[in-house]
Amino acid sequence: MPRYSANLTFLFNELPFLERFGAAKAAGFEAVEYVCLFDHAAVALAAPLKEHGLAQVLLNVPHGKWAAGERGIAILPERAEEFRASLAQTIAYAHALECGQVNCLAGIRPEGVPEEALRETFVANLRFAAATLKAAGIRLLIEPINTRDIPGFYLTHTRQAVELMEAVGSDNLFIQHDLYHMQIMEGDLARTLERTLPAIGHIQIADNPGRHEPGTGEINYAFVLAEIDRLGYAGHVGCEYKPKTTTAQSFGWMK
């Protein structure tokens, strides 16, 4: 059976954010993750982790002005310096929270910038980040995301992520494989997992449509989760879904 982590951005939303750690522990989780917006000090996040004996399994590299609609800046040529400077904050948070891997959101394609410039910027930034984070003992992940939820997002398919990894040429770059996003963009989940598993650093789940808990949509999660076990995936599976009713009621699928 996979080891699950609770995504506190999506789960336990009936509680203030810092109270969600305790709720996750009470629900049986041993690990957490969330979309880190860096609006809490690292020490404030570390305290509930320690209090409840939870592991932090994932963070995000700062991804621009989230409230203004930005979803990453790593592809933007004019913000390469900002992206690279943000790694110091990333490392500080990761060390404070004893988190060994971080996810880099690529960003939304801007108008008027050639494809070649976006790709060259992304590859150069990833190469720099992978080396910088490796020196700090932290793995770097990149995540393909569907263009229905985030129109114009740059990184959208597993094969594209693999090609970027090959271009970067680092042994410290992996894929964050979100089955919800990839069901929308490409399907064929089991074969893709089997083919790509060595490159996958973290898995996240939600059903489609609706991004609700497993069992509410079209993905056969009983089969897919068994396949993840069969393939020998040793990491956590992040529950990054929106409960259809309440968080507590959404856990029935785990049985």
Say which DSSP state 136 is in. T
Annotated catalytic residue, options 120, 143, 213, 227: 143
How far, CA to CA in Å, does 228 sit from each of 56, 86, 216?
21, 33, 20
Written as six digits, the tokens of 19 are: 């109270």
SS3 6: strand
Whether 94 contacts 132, CB under 8 Å = no
**What token pair was written down for 39?**
């609006």
202 touches 57 (CB < 8 A): yes
Any catalytic annotation for residue 82?
A: no
| C-alpha distances out from residue 63 to 51, 87, 93, 106, 164, Å | 28, 11, 14, 8, 19
Place of tokens 């399994």: 57
Rounded Cα gap, residues 83 and 64, in angstroms: 9
Is 240 one of the catalytic residues? yes
Dist. CA 173–CA 103, nearest whole Å: 10
DSSP conformation class of 153 = B
The residues that are catalytic are 143, 240
